[in-house]
Structures are given as structure tokens and as C-alpha cells.
Amino acid sequence: MSSHEKAIRNAYGEDIFERLKREMLNRAKTILRFDRQFINEIKAEIRDDGEDEIKEELRIEIRKELEVEIMAEI
């Protein structure tokens, strides 16, 4: 621990850096909640995730159908 860090902790309390981190995160969250670009990025991620789920479900269904067809051919 540097002497500056010790001095800061002594002056403002042992948990000063943890408090600052929480405060910065809360401010960032507040700002990002109203950031249109950030919101649009999240919406796009949600759509992509949904598409992936649908594709995976369809992949499973098609695989099962093809397995049945292959078994019928045998």
C-alpha cells in the first residue's frame, strides 16, 4: 500500500475506495439507463439471443426428424 493510499484511507475511512467504486458504478448505471445507443445495443443483443434460441430449437427438431427418416430408410 502506498503512503498516499494510507493517508487517504486514514482521512476518509478504510472503505473509501469501495465506496467510490460503488458510487461510480451507480452514476454509470444512471447515465446508461438514458443512453439511447446503449439501450439499442442491449435490444440488439436480446434479439440475437432470441434468434439463437430459436435456431437451436429448430436445429434439434430437424435433427430428430432426419434421424427418424434415416431410421425408416434402414
**Which tens digit of pLDDT belongs to each residue from 6-37?**
899 999 999 999 999 999 999 999 999 899 99
In this prediction, what percent of the chain has a pLDDT beyond 70?
A: 99
Q: Residue 42 burial (CB < 10 Å; 0-12/13-18/19+)?
A: exposed
Residues 42-51, mean pLDDT to the nearest whole number = 81
Higher pLDDT among residues 26 and 70, named by residue: 26
Say yes or no to pLDDT of 69 above 90: no
Residues 36-43, mean pLDDT to the nearest whole number = 91
CB of 64 closer than 8 Å to CB of 70? no
pLDDT (0 to 100) of residue 23 = 94
Integer-rounded Cα Rg, in Å, for the chain is: 26
pTM: 0.48
Residue type, 50: G
**Which are the contacts of 2, defined by CB distance < 8 A and separation ≥ 6?**
none
> Which helix H or strand E contains 35, and what residues bound it?
none
